[in-house]
């Protein structure tokens, strides 16, 4: 009996890290909802890019975009800019939630958001503005 | 003696279950983020594509 219990404990101890490693393999990002959000953001990017370059819009540390210098945009364009930023953030919020839900872990949303915030900032082009722990920084 | 072993097994299993539930695959998330960002910003043509063979790029690229 002792052997059985020992054996059971040993096998379980071996299996547990295995199941954890399996969960780490990949995140599902090929759902229809994610593809839709991705194309919508892709189509919007050429409109947003000039605002990234001018510094009017920057990448906030919560994984969204934010108007950081409205003065860099002519008054007539500001309303359009605000709509653009709002639409982009709506897509981004939906994207983070969709990735978390699509992987059966809605509670991962904050970590997914944080991961994206870091990667958007890392991949941002030189001259674009990103928000770090202390404030806005020009790359 | 027996209950001690059961207690030991339970003590090992219980926290493990909790760990798996809250476990966040940071590396996988970063990879997923990179793939999505590359798509949204169309970065594939500017940067050397990562070694991953499963490329979803519609653009036909000449074989390296």
pLDDT digits (tens, 9 = 90+) for A100-112: 999 999 999 999 9
Nearest to A27 among B8, B29, B41 (CB): B29
> Does the interface ipTM go beyond 0.85?
no
Distance from CA of B14 to the nearest CA of A (A): 11
Contact residues on chain B for A19, CB-CB shorter than 8 A: 20
Nearest to A45 among B1, B9, B40 (CB): B40
CB contact under 8 A, A27 and B9: no
Low-confidence ranges of chain A (pLDDT < 50): 21
Closest C-alpha to A45, from B28, B57, B36, B31:
B36
Between A133 and B39, the more confident residue is B39
| Beta pairing class for A136-138 and A129-131 | antiparallel
Under the banding of pLDDT at 50, 70 and 90, the label for residue B36 is very high
Question: What is residue A87's predicted lDDT score, i.e. its pLDDT?
Answer: 98
pLDDT at residue B29 tops 90: yes
Pairs of residues, one from chain A and one from chain B, whose beta carbons lie less than 8 Å apart:
86
Q: What is the average pLDDT score of chain B?
A: 72
Question: What is residue B12's predicted lDDT score, i.e. its pLDDT?
Answer: 77
Dihedral of CA atoms B17, B22, B23, B29 in degrees, nearest 10, equals 150
- Region of A15 (left: φ > 0; alpha: ψ -120 to 50; beta: rest) is alpha
Q: Which chain B residue is nearest to residue A42, measuring alpha carbons?
A: B40
Question: What is residue A35's predicted lDDT score, i.e. its pLDDT?
Answer: 97
Question: What is residue A33's predicted lDDT score, i.e. its pLDDT?
Answer: 97
- Compute the distance between CA of residue A110 and CA of residue A49 in angstroms, rounded to an integer: 26
Between B59 and A138, the more confident residue is A138
Question: What is residue B2's predicted lDDT score, i.e. its pLDDT?
Answer: 73
- Compute the distance between CA of residue B41 and CA of residue A116 in angstroms, rounded to an integer: 13
In what side-by-side order are the strands of the sheet with A57-59? Answer: A65-67, A57-59, A129-131, A136-138
Contact residues on chain A for B39, CB-CB shorter than 8 A: 38, 42
- Compute the distance between CA of residue A103 and CA of residue A97 in angstroms, rounded to an integer: 10
Between B10 and A137, the more confident residue is A137
Contact residues on chain B for A46, CB-CB shorter than 8 A: none
pLDDT at residue B60 tops 90: no
CB-based contact A139:A125 (threshold 8 Å): yes
CA B59 vs CA A1, A79, A84, A118, B39: distances in Å: 63, 35, 28, 28, 12
Question: What is residue A26's predicted lDDT score, i.e. its pLDDT?
Answer: 87
Contact residues on chain B for A124, CB-CB shorter than 8 A: none
Under the banding of pLDDT at 50, 70 and 90, the label for residue B7 is confident
CB contact under 8 A, A123 and B34: yes
């Amino acid at each position: 009996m002792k052997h059985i219990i020992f054996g059971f404990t040993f096998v379980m101890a071996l299996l547990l890290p295995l199941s954890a490693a399996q969960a780490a393999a990949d995140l599902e990002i090929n759902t229809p909802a994610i593809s839709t959000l991705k194309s919508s953001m892709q189509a919007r990017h050429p409109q947003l890019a000039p605002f990234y370059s001018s510094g009017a819009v920057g990448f906030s540390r919560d994984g969204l975009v934010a108007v950081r210098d409205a003065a860099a945009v002519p008054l007539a364009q500001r309303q359009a800019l605000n709509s653009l930023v709002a639409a982009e953030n709506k897509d981004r919020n939906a994207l983070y939630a969709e990735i978390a839900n699509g992987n059966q872990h809605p509670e991962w949303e904050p970590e997914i958001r944080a991961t994206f915030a870091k990667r958007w900032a890392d991949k941002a082009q030189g001259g674009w503005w990103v928000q770090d722990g202390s404030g806005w920084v020009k790359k | 003696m027996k209950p001690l072993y059961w207690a030991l097994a339970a003590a090992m299993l219980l926290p493990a279950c909790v760990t798996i539930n809250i476990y966040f695959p940071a590396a996988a998330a970063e990879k997923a983020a990179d793939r999505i960002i590359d798509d949204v910003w169309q970065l594939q043509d500017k940067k050397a594509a990562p070694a991953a063979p499963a490329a979803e790029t519609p653009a036909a690229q000449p074989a390296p």
